[in-house]
């Protein structure tokens, strides 16, 4: 199969074959990062721009390492410290970058739809590295890759996602990805953190973590935006932790061979207890390792790597 | 002809032959950015430092891409987040960088003359990437390159520059460059934005845009520093736009085949209307593309590229 | 001799043979930075992460240039603008970086012991680029290298260190390094800037600069943290300068062939007078040049360069 899309904007528009192609390509790249010389010449002479309108360590670093291991020239733009300050529109900034002939642009933006806006206007491939509360497709792909590597399959698994479902682009992209690949998804969170009509996405919603994680093969905890506390979205971090934290007691409700995931950064003691984060079921750091491989795969596919 | 200057500090000291050498060299580099593999080994093993004391997306990115496409190692220093905070003098910072044996230093600084100060003290070539309200020579050179590419020549053209002439390093460098190359320059702006004695630079000054752009081959709009509004340099953005914005009506005063330029970032609806910015006469994005080529040419020439 | 440590955390744990190996290796790298093509393929395909929790120009730039001249891929993380903001623990941040398979991590942190914490938890080599008021080992090594190059030896020299000894990681690392290598160290500073029990480190302590620098072969001035003035650690900058600044008068107390050092950034007119900083005895910029070589040596040794 050949990759045919110009951009990677979200999981919602991908089909299962496309997702499998990305995962298979990523698996072929995982070995590069374990070599003595962690570099292949695939993207030599290509320019990849990381345009980040939100602060990020892990995602930006992951894309930068992915680019460099493919021998691309990587350019980081932290937009908060750039001429965006001067009031230029997003499209004008992007058209300017386009005019410098990069080969691909990775964008993270606080506004849902920003990558789509660019994709429709620029000739270069665009990768969405997170747009508002909309999608974070590379996160979902690295999550799928991790599940597939650990469980041998995705179809038929039961996956529980716990936390602030309503405001999480990670949750949205994962719900799309998991249901497309045949997994059963249940979610749990306080009422203020569950979107109305969540069931329309094909998932079962619960108001208690215990109900969601029963017999789960995969338990995916979401980061709580602790800065939201002051907006009264939930009563208190302590109360949240009491009701929704993953811990040694409630993990017993999941399958004995379940795996524990978290997109990071973690609030230890809030959404996840330290023994769960660091215990034998945790695959949280595998997710990070797979993230580099998924991003290498996408840089490769979107710059035409498997066309010939 | 061989390049013989150590530094590129301003247009004012260049002669026409030097300007033509830069433009010819830049044209030979424009093709590199359109290749499948956008990289030549010219500056392999050279270190280029981008020392930016003012925030910038396009200029810093343009220099960084130019360096990487020549295979240089590029080092970015955003001086506002560096030990400059600790009170070190500019010269001490620069002498420290010199001691690390870079091959060239690009500097942007809010103080006019900062690059000249460094040029006199460091053995490395210095490129002025904008110094206060003094000069922005690489901008003027990419503007000349764009005019020459679109019009086939510079000599004999009529160029109108509109906006805050008094506080614009872009205007100053362009006035020097255009008059040296034989173009006729007229400028327009509010009285508070026109320097006294502006005519001594060999340009005609007008208080209305209509007077300046009559029969112009090139209309160059300047960015309004909207943050100046509160200092009462001009009455209001709305009034400014009414009197000095380029729009579908007043463009009819220029020559039918005129080109529209802007150094960016644009304030759409203030100094330029969107239909002018995006219309068929606009060469604003060509300017950006040519900027990478001009900077490649300067990195090449100043590191001794055409000496042998 | 082979290098056998995983990490470079401080001078305190090194022995003389290890220090000499680093200095000898650094001397072999100094020539690379003077070549036409300043690059060797030693670390091609290796990833070096510069994780800086404190702002820094010279140290970060020095490590970045060192990495690039060895052909490593270098990744800069300015932690103050990263997800550290989101409350992630240092160890979680570091474990995430580890999972991306870098080959070495350089860390600067305001907390003493932060590099040691990481070294015990990560499989990658860690280099301490400054931890609180604890150690700054690469600074001490470049200082030793500079002394050895200028004086031909370290053993038997008299070295005076003047300034805020109590709060300076530079002073601590240099005291460890110099006494290990057989130099005699005297220190001077206001009573509030001398640690109690300073003599236990094997140095002589004085409350006047004149007493410390008598017959010194090396005078090492420390940067005064001028921001401390308001905390009443010393009465005023003017008074400090009068009592502890190195100047044309008190330098006469040192040996005629003494050398003057400063780790930078300098407060000219506070701890050092401009004629001393820029005069013939100053080796301050040699320190910077040697810093790149020392860091190249450490990147080389810690990634296994001299194992075979």
Q: What is the pLDDT along chain C (308 residues), one digit of tens a residue?
A: 899 999 999 999 999 999 999 999 999 999 999 999 999 999 999 999 999 999 888 999 999 999 999 999 999 998 864 445 566 889 999 999 999 999 999 999 999 999 999 999 999 999 999 999 999 999 999 999 999 999 999 999 999 999 999 999 999 999 999 999 999 999 999 998 999 889 999 999 999 999 999 999 999 999 997 765 556 666 688 889 999 999 999 999 999 999 999 999 999 999 999 999 999 999 999 999 999 999 999 999 999 987 75
Nearest to A92 among B39, B226, B266 (CB): B266
Backbone angles phi, psi at A228, to 5 degrees: -80, -15
* Cβ–Cβ gap C55/B100 under 8 Å: no
A85 inside 8 A of chain C by CB: no
Cβ-Cβ contacts under 8 Å, C79 against chain A = 57
Count CB neighbours of A40 within 10 A: 16
Rounded Cα distance between C38 and C48, Å, is: 18
Which of A38, A61, A289 is nearest residue C46 as measured by Cβ atoms? A38
Residue range B259-266: mean pLDDT, rounded:
96
Which DSSP string corresponds to C221-287?
EPPP-GGGGGGTSSS-HHHHHHHH-B-TTGGGGS-TT-EEE--S---BTTTB-HHHHHSTTB-HHHH
Is the Cβ–Cβ distance between C21 and C3 less than 8 Å?
yes
Given CB atoms, is B73 within the 8 Å cutoff of chain C?
Answer: yes
- C70 vs B contacts (CB less than 8 Å): none
The model's pLDDT over B277-290, given as tens digits with 9 standing for 90+, comes to 999 999 999 999 99
For residue A175, give both structure tokens.
Answer: 């719900």
| pLDDT given at position C83 | 46
Structure tokens at C90: 């240092």
Residue of B84, B86, B98, B308 for testing the chain C interface, max C β-carbons within 10 Å: B86
How far apart CA B271 and CA C61 sit, in angstroms, is 40
Helix H or strand E segment including A131: strand A126-131
Query: Which residues lie closer than 8 Å to A5 by C-beta, 6 or more apart?
Result: A18, A302
Nearest CA in chain B to C227: B86
Is B231 a residue whose pLDDT tops 70? no
SS3 label, residue A220: strand
| The two structure tokens encoding residue A183 | 């997994």
**Cβ atoms within 10 Å of B236's Cβ, excluding its own:** 10
User: What is the total residue count of chain A?
Assistant: 308
Which residues from A are below 8 Å from B39, CB to CB? Answer: 44-45, 73
Q: Give residues 222 to 251 of A whose Cβ lies within 8 Å of B.
A: none
B127: β partners: B8, B106
| A285 in C contact zone (CB under 8 Å) | yes
- B37: its two tokens: 């593999």
Residues 6+ apart with CB under 8 A from C109: C53, C54, C90, C115, C130, C131, C132
DSSP labels, A238-283: HHHHHHH-B-TTGGGGS-TT-EEE--S---BTTTB-HHHHHSTTB-
Q: What is the pLDDT along chain A (308 residues), one digit of tens a residue?
A: 899 999 999 999 999 999 999 999 999 999 999 999 999 999 999 999 999 999 888 999 999 999 999 999 999 998 864 445 566 889 999 999 999 999 999 999 999 999 999 999 999 999 999 999 999 999 999 999 999 999 999 999 999 999 999 999 999 999 999 999 999 999 999 998 999 889 999 999 999 999 999 999 999 999 997 765 556 666 688 889 999 999 999 999 999 999 999 999 999 999 999 999 999 999 999 999 999 999 999 999 999 987 65
Q: Which of B37, B65, B78 sits opposite A81 (nearest CB)?
A: B78
Q: Which helix (H) or strand (E) holds A204?
A: strand A204-206
**Nearest in space to B139 (alpha carbons), one of B184, B169, B179:** B169
- DSSP character for C182? T
pLDDT above 60 for B229: no
Distance CA C7, CA B240 (A): 62
**For residue range C73-130, what is the model confidence (pLDDT) as tens digits?**
999 998 864 445 566 889 999 999 999 999 999 999 999 999 999 999 999 999 999 9
Percentages of chain C per state (helix, strand, coil), in multiples of 5: 45, 15, 40
Q: Which of C95, C161, C254, B52 is nearest to A83 (CA)?
A: B52
Alpha carbon distance C246, C273 (integer Å): 6
């Amino acid at each position: 199969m050949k990759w045919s899309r110009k951009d990677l904007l979200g999981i919602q528009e991908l089909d299962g074959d496309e997702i499998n192609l990305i995962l298979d390509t990523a698996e072929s790249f995982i070995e590069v990062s374990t070599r003595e010389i962690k570099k292949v010449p695939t993207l030599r002479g290509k320019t990849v721009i990381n345009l980040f309108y939100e602060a990020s360590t892990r995602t930006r670093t992951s894309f930068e390492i992915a680019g460099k291991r493919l021998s691309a020239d990587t350019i980081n733009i932290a937009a908060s410290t750039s001429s965006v300050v001067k009031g230029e529109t997003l499209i004008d900034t992007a058209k300017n970058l386009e005019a410098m002939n990069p080969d691909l642009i990775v964008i993270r933006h606080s506004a849902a739809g920003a990558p789509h806006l660019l994709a429709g206007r620029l000739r270069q491939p665009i990768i969405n590295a997170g747009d508002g509360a909309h999608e974070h497709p590379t996160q979902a792909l690295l999550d799928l890759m991790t599940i597939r590597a650990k469980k041998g399959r995705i179809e038929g698994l039961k996956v529980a996602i716990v936390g602030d479902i309503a405001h999480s682009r990670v949750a949205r992209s994962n719900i799309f990805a998991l249901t497309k690949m045949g997994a059963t998804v249940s979610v749990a969170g306080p009422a203020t953190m569950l979107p109305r009509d969540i069931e329309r996405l094909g998932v079962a919603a619960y108001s208690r973590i215990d109900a969601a994680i029963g017999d789960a093969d995969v338990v995916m905890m979401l980061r709580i935006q602790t800065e939201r506390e002051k907006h009264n979205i939930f009563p208190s971090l302590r109360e949240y932790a009491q009701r929704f934290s993953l811990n040694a007691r409630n993990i017993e409700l999941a399958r004995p061979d379940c795996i524990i995931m978290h997109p990071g950064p973690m609030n230890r003691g809030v959404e996840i207890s330290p023994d769960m984060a660091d215990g034998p079921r945790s695959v949280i750091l595998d997710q990070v390792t797979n993230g580099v491989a998924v991003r290498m795969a996408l840089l490769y596919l979107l710059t035409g790597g498997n066309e010939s």
